[in-house]
């Protein structure tokens, strides 16, 4: 069996059931497709290493890491399906170190972003405000249904999340007002065609359309390096800057472990400022009521 033949099975029996099936298919075609002509058993680890580093030179280290991860998953599935009985050639290949992204919208940039979002149609503006004000992931909000919302209690019940468990989060009153003003054309809060004909046949808003809308917004706000996921990071960063503790941020982001939230601790300067202010006040309070005599020229001993 060639890798090309395996990819046909992989697309039909695995990728087709993924949430990010379009993105996964594109990665497979772009990267693993380069090996499609090879026999499944003929691929050696050194060959994969050369392929891995060639992708890094062309598309960067992160692209190479994703390609390697994808190839490993494909071979793992082939082993699981008993189509391959050798060692995974993508196994034990060291990935490039992942550089943690820290970009979030700064206070000086926020007015421009808010103005750019407000210029959009109600569906689009409400969607991106939802990401910014709740820290939701792109697809969590994109796949939001009216049945997931309890606007009377200002709650959003997410039936599925990246962590695999449901998550309920309070909604800011400002966002509740925006959601109440949206038309309910079908089950989706953000449908593909909110104002056109045949709304009840309209499906969920596509990833491509969401990304296109964001390109338009960030260009208008002059924030070309801000990605959609940075809105989630912005929500958490502003909470930390304003003094919210890490458990609150963890619950907002639905992190399974506080370790993932720890990155925002460096931004939480408000508690430190309060502590230092209190300490300075205590030191000032130690001054006696009566004036202190001048310090002697020579200290005893």
pLDDT along the chain (301 residues), means of 10: 94 88 88 94 95 93 92 96 94 83 88 95 96 93 95 92 82 95 92 64 82 95 93 90 84 78 74 82 80 62 55
pTM for this predicted structure? 0.64
Whole-angstrom distance, CA of residue 36 vs CA of residue 206: 29
Sequence-distant (6+) residues with CB within 8 A of 196 are 202
Q: What per-residue confidence (pLDDT) applies to 295?
A: 60
Quick one: tokens of 253? 């982001």
Which among 26, 71, 53, 195 is positioned nearest to 123, based on CA atoms? 195
Which among 230, 192, 223, 226 is positioned nearest to 209, based on CA atoms? 192
Quick one: tokens of 48? 């994969």
Q: What per-residue confidence (pLDDT) applies to 279?
A: 84
Cα dihedral 126→128→134→135 (10° resolution): 170
Q: What per-residue confidence (pLDDT) applies to 197?
A: 52
Q: What per-residue confidence (pLDDT) applies to 201?
A: 52
Q: What per-residue confidence (pLDDT) applies to 297?
A: 62
Q: What per-residue confidence (pLDDT) applies to 242?
A: 85
Sequence-distant (6+) residues with CB within 8 A of 5 are 40
Q: What per-residue confidence (pLDDT) applies to 20?
A: 75
What is 110-196+203-267's CATH number? 1.10.443.10
Which among 255, 248, 117 is positioned nearest to 175, based on CA atoms? 117
Q: What per-residue confidence (pLDDT) applies to 257?
A: 72
Quick one: tokens of 148? 């997931």
Separation in Å, CA 119 to CA 45, 134, 148, 171: 52, 20, 27, 22
Separation in Å, CA 65 to CA 56, 91, 115: 8, 13, 37
């Amino acid at each position: 069996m060639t890798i090309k033949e395996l990819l046909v099975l992989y697309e039909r029996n695995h990728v087709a059931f993924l949430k990010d099936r379009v993105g996964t298919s594109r990665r497979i075609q772009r990267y693993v497709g380069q090996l499609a002509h090879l026999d499944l058993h003929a691929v050696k680890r050194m060959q994969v290493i050369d392929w891995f580093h060639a992708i890094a030179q062309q598309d960067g280290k992160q692209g190479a890491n994703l390609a390697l991860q994808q190839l490993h998953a494909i071979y793992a599935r082939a082993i699981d399906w008993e189509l391959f009985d050798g060692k995974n050639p993508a196994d034990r290949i060291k990935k490039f170190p992942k550089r943690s992204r820290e970009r979030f919208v700064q206070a000086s940039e926020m007015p421009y972003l808010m103005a750019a979002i407000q210029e959009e149609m109600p569906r689009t503006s409400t969607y991106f405000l939802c990401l910014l004000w709740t820290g939701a992931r792109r697809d969590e909000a994109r796949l939001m249904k009216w049945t997931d919302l309890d606007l009377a209690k200002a709650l959003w019940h997410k039936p599925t999340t990246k962590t695999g468990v449901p998550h309920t989060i309070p909604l800011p009153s400002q966002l509740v007002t925006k959601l109440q003003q949206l038309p309910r054309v079908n089950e989706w809060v953000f449908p593909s065609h909110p104002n056109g004909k045949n709304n009840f046949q309209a499906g969920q808003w596509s990833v491509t359309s969401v990304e296109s809308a964001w390109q338009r917004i960030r260009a208008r706000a002059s924030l070309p390096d801000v990605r959609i996921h940075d809105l989630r990071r912005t929500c958490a960063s502003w909470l930390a800057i304003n003094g919210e503790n890490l458990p609150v941020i963890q619950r907002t982001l639905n992190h399974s472990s506080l370790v993932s939230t720890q990155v925002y601790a460096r931004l939480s300067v408000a508690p430190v400022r309060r502590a230092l202010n209190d300490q300075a006040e205590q030191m000032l309070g130690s001054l006696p009521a009566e004036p202190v005599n001048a310090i002697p020229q020579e200290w005893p001993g």
